[in-house]
Amino acid sequence: MSRNVLGTELQACSFDPLTGYFRDGCCETDESDRGSHVVCARVTQEFLLYSLERGNDLMTPHPEWRFAGLKPGDRWCLCALRWSEALAAGVAPPVVLECTHEKALQWVSLAQLQSHAWCPASAAR
């Protein structure tokens, strides 16, 4: 059983769009996942533009890969290092802690993730 950054069972990040290195909805990983797609984030427009500027276009659809393109508010398993870079640039998107793999703690601290935790109750206010 994989664990999240809170030490409990890893929860699914998103099935629509279908995310994860293994495209199973979870931010699971193994040694073949060189990017460590372990941070479940609720992407923002600022982050999507930041990622595009760094050569990773997450917005353009690619039907050949069954990828519709991301829009703000979508949940997606991000590379831990890219989330860390976005944090340093001031554009890190909110994270869903229950869905973020514990391996993310190799690149960022729990405190950093918690300070960017997405909370549905507070988002509705």
Choose among 22, 7, 3: nearest CA to 77. Answer: 22
Per-residue pLDDT of the chain (125 residues; tens, 9 = 90+): 899 999 999 999 999 999 999 999 999 999 999 999 999 999 999 999 999 999 999 999 998 888 899 999 999 999 999 999 999 999 999 999 999 999 999 999 999 999 999 986 544 33
Residue 30 in 3-state DSSP?
Answer: coil
CA distances from 11 to 1, 67, 69, 82, 125 (A): 11, 22, 23, 21, 25
What is the pTM for the complete model shown?
0.92
Q: Where are the alpha helices (DSSP H) in 4-116?
A: 45-53, 80-89, 110-115
Tokens representing 62? 């690619």
Return d(Cα 27, Cα 13) in angstroms, integer: 7
